[in-house]
A and B are shown apart, each in its own frame.
Chain A
Amino acid sequence: MGHVPNPRPAGDFRTSYVDDNRMFKTHFEKYAALGILVAVMIAAPFLGNYWVSQLIVIGIYAIAAIGLNILVGTTGQISLGHGAFFGFGAFASAWLATSFNVPTLISMPAAALLTTAVGMIFGVPAARIKGLYLAIATLASQFILEDFFARADWFSGGVYGALADRPDIFGYVLDTDLSYFYLVLFWLVLSVIGVTNLLRSRDGRALVAVRDHYLSAEVMGVNLTKYRILSFGISSFFAGLAGALFGHYLEYVSVEGFTILLSIQFLAMIIIGGLGSVYGSILGAAFILLLPQLMESITSVMAVAFPAMESGKAYVKQMSIGAAIILFLIFEPEGLVHRWQQIRASWKLFPFSR
């Protein structure tokens, strides 16, 4: 376009309605996103196994959180069964790979599609009920699926769990964490691009309209039932995809891993990250996974100074997550993304900002 990208955010504005509807609103955003992506890709081999494994789990949880954010943040519904859908994806991929010899790279998206179908079935009540009632209805999906995992030996291996092999690409097995990291990153980037594009499409606007003003949406021709169930389908797709990646990462899927605690963790991620924001979901996932570790190192340091704290270390770690959620709800209900936007705005207006 002949436009020289400006490296600084100042002077790089949205200037037209077309810009407003772009995936990246300004050049800075585009290059920042690309820059971070390239930096992570280059840095990964030098990070060491521990941090790479952390990044893998963050990436996987971020994919699931992006999905849940479509349901909760964009469409304004709620699901307490996201963890179970995540688990369903893990089992389904393992099942497809072991029982039907489907190559793992194909079984993962296939498992995501199966989870989509399951999610849409459990999303049917959403056509009729909202709010707290919907929360309870989705709670049922959590328990039904958990029970299904424990009893359906043919599908999940029952209480023994299921084995899930690492995927291979034309004979090259992704058996190191580093190689698996690139696979997770690939799906994460694809999810981000897919969801960002969805949100600026006709269907994305319809989803937001269902959240903000469902009567208004209805009189504009949006079929509420369709979009409410569809949003369950989309969110389950990403839960299933993330679950499949998780299962093949651990190489073993166990029944105990997908309790309601996981569902609540996903909710916490999107609330802390920012409802309705794709990047917020990633930030939230990183926050929820890294906070306990941060707290652990803080408490270890404090335990040296106050030996009496030694026994309480484990509690502090757990309590910090609860405290973080409460603090975020009070001080930053719009999440980390909003905080970031404010920091950016104050840079832009620097001498005049508070």
Chain B
Amino acid sequence: MKPQIAATGNGLANETILSVNNIEVVFNEVILVLRGLNLKVARGKITALLGTNGAGKSTTLKAITNLLATEDGEVTRGTITYEDDDVTEIGPEALVRKGIFLVMEGRGILQDMTVIENLRLGAYSRPNAKINEEIEQVFKYFPRLKERTGLAGYLSGGEQQMLAIGRALMAKPKLILMDEPSMGLSPLLVKEVFRIIKRLNKELGISILLVEQNANMALHVADDGYIMENGKIVLDGTAEELMANEDVKEFYLGGGGERRSFKDIKSYKRRKRWL
């Protein structure tokens, strides 16, 4: 029997819930997108995965959840392990039953359904759930969703994002993968969403892999961080370490380091190569 570990136990920070080992993803059998990516998500922690557009963040999530097939991509090398099981080949709907839930980029809520129907659908993988009680639980985190009785398509962007996260909670996952929860939201709403993400992590002990463009916000709520470029991880560490790192400050957080002029553009290029 596996040792029972409290999800938020501080002493066991290194226990890994998900590990991605050296995966390589190829699209259309020719386009190499991920080239040997390594990643670990600690149990009960928030792990941020940062990077610029086109770095391969979303592809990483699709590789984990096995959604690549719909885009003609495949994992050609490496393995993905979740709680000591190899899940490299396991389809998305089976992963939900194992406890991994993906909150998709652009939310992916069902516009023609009401808020409540969306939430009920979130519990699809648990047919015997006490859905009504759990919906109330979700409303505790997202009180403003309770006021919305119409179709989900009429919600504002922020509310839709909250619904997408609430829907994930209905599946009672152990690990939530979030693809850009801040997309298209105003700075205040971004703050609110991230505050809720942090609460979910602390109060429910859900491990979270957070894929973000907004490095500043993401590193503030995260425990660990990875920075990816060009299909591989170029830097990793705890969130504090990353926030203190000069390169990260300069390229992702803005501000940090000494002010540079255009003359230094060459050194920018050179310095960017961490590995």
Which residues on A are within 8 Å of B, measured CB to CB? Answer: 14, 17, 20-21, 202, 205-206, 208-209, 212-213, 215-224
Q: For the complex, would chain A's binding face be called helix, strand, loop or mixed by DSSP majority? A: helix
Q: Are B113 and A222 in contact (CB under 8 A)?
A: no
Q: Are B125 and A220 in contact (CB under 8 A)?
A: yes
The answer to whether B182 has its CB under 8 Å from any CB of chain A is: no
- A301 → chain B, closest Cβ, in Å? 43
> From A213, which residue of chain B is reached at the shortest CB distance?
B108
Kindly name the residue among A20, A208, A220 whose own CB sees the greatest number of chain B CB atoms within 10 A. A220
Q: Which residues of A contact B127 (CB under 8 A)?
A: 202
Q: Which of the residues A14, A216, A221, A222 comes within 8 Å of B108, measured between beta carbons?
A: A216
When chains A and B are docked, how far (Å) is the Cα of A222 from the Cα of B121? 9
The answer to whether B167 has its CB under 8 Å from any CB of chain A is: yes
Number of B residues, CB within 8 Å of A: 30
When chains A and B are docked, how far (Å) is the Cα of A218 from the Cα of B101? 10
Q: Are A221 and B125 in contact (CB under 8 A)?
A: yes
Q: Which residues of B contact A20 (CB under 8 A)?
A: 114, 116-117, 149
Q: Which residues of B contact A208 (CB under 8 A)?
A: 110, 112-113
- B240 → chain A, closest Cβ, in Å? 32
Q: Are B121 and A220 in contact (CB under 8 A)?
A: yes
Q: Which residues of B contact A209 (CB under 8 A)?
A: 110, 121, 124
Q: Which of the residues A14, A212, A215, A219 comes within 8 Å of B96, measured between beta carbons?
A: A219
When chains A and B are docked, how far (Å) is the Cα of A191 from the Cα of B121? 24
The answer to whether B70 has its CB under 8 Å from any CB of chain A is: yes
When chains A and B are docked, how far (Å) is the Cα of A219 from the Cα of B102? 6
Q: Are A205 and B70 in contact (CB under 8 A)?
A: no
Q: Are A222 and B124 in contact (CB under 8 A)?
A: yes
When chains A and B are docked, how far (Å) is the Cα of A208 from the Cα of B91? 20
Q: Are A202 and B120 in contact (CB under 8 A)?
A: yes
Q: A14-B149, A20-B149, A209-B110 are in contact. Are A219 and B125 (CB under 8 A)?
A: no
Q: Are B110 and A216 in contact (CB under 8 A)?
A: yes
Q: Are B67 and A220 in contact (CB under 8 A)?
A: no
Q: Are A221 and B114 in contact (CB under 8 A)?
A: no
When chains A and B are docked, how far (Å) is the Cα of A151 from the Cα of B149? 56
Q: Which residues of B contact A224 (CB under 8 A)?
A: 93
When chains A and B are docked, how far (Å) is the Cα of A216 from the Cα of B96? 12
- A218 → chain B, closest Cβ, in Å? 5
Q: A215-B70, A219-B92 are in contact. Are A205 and B112 (CB under 8 A)?
A: no
When chains A and B are docked, how far (Å) is the Cα of A209 from the Cα of B121? 8
- A341 → chain B, closest Cβ, in Å? 13
The answer to whether B206 has its CB under 8 Å from any CB of chain A is: no
Q: A220-B96, A220-B171 are in contact. Are A205 and B108 (CB under 8 A)?
A: no
Which residues on B are within 8 Å of A, measured CB to CB? Answer: 65, 67, 70, 91-93, 96-97, 101-102, 104, 108-114, 116-117, 120-122, 124-125, 127, 135, 149, 167, 171
When chains A and B are docked, how far (Å) is the Cα of A21 from the Cα of B167? 17
Kindly name the residue among B67, B101, B110, B111 whose own CB sees the greatest number of chain A CB atoms within 10 A. B110
> Known contacts A17-B116, A221-B92; can you find 5 more A-B pairs with CB under 8 A?
A218-B67, A219-B67, A219-B93, A219-B102, A224-B93
When chains A and B are docked, how far (Å) is the Cα of A20 from the Cα of B120? 12
Q: Are B93 and A218 in contact (CB under 8 A)?
A: yes
Q: Are A219 and B122 in contact (CB under 8 A)?
A: no
> From A200, which residue of chain B is reached at the shortest CB distance?
B117
- B36 → chain A, closest Cβ, in Å? 26
- B209 → chain A, closest Cβ, in Å? 14
Q: Which residues of B contact A14 (CB under 8 A)?
A: 149
Q: A202-B127, A206-B124 are in contact. Are A218 and B92 (CB under 8 A)?
A: yes
**8 shortest interchain CB distances as A-B pairs:** A221-B125, A221-B96, A216-B108, A219-B102, A17-B116, A218-B92, A221-B93, A205-B121
Kindly name the residue among B91, B124, B171 whose own CB sees the greatest number of chain A CB atoms within 10 A. B124
> From B71, which residue of chain A is reached at the shortest CB distance?
A215
Q: A21-B117, A202-B120, A202-B124 are in contact. Are A219 and B111 (CB under 8 A)?
A: no
Q: Are A220 and B124 in contact (CB under 8 A)?
A: yes
Q: Are B104 and A216 in contact (CB under 8 A)?
A: yes
Q: Which residues of B contact A223 (CB under 8 A)?
A: 93
When chains A and B are docked, how far (Å) is the Cα of A17 from the Cα of B116? 7
Kindly name the residue among A205, A217, A221, A224 whose own CB sees the greatest number of chain B CB atoms within 10 A. A221
A-B contact pairs, 29 of them (CB 8 A): A14-B149, A17-B116, A20-B114, A20-B117, A20-B149, A21-B116, A202-B120, A202-B124, A208-B110, A209-B110, A212-B110, A212-B113, A213-B108, A215-B70, A215-B104, A216-B109, A217-B121, A218-B91, A219-B101, A219-B102, A219-B104, A220-B93, A220-B96, A220-B122, A221-B92, A221-B124, A221-B171, A222-B93, A224-B93
Q: Which residues of B contact A213 (CB under 8 A)?
A: 108-110
Q: Which residues of A contact B117 (CB under 8 A)?
A: 20-21, 205
Q: Are B113 and A215 in contact (CB under 8 A)?
A: no
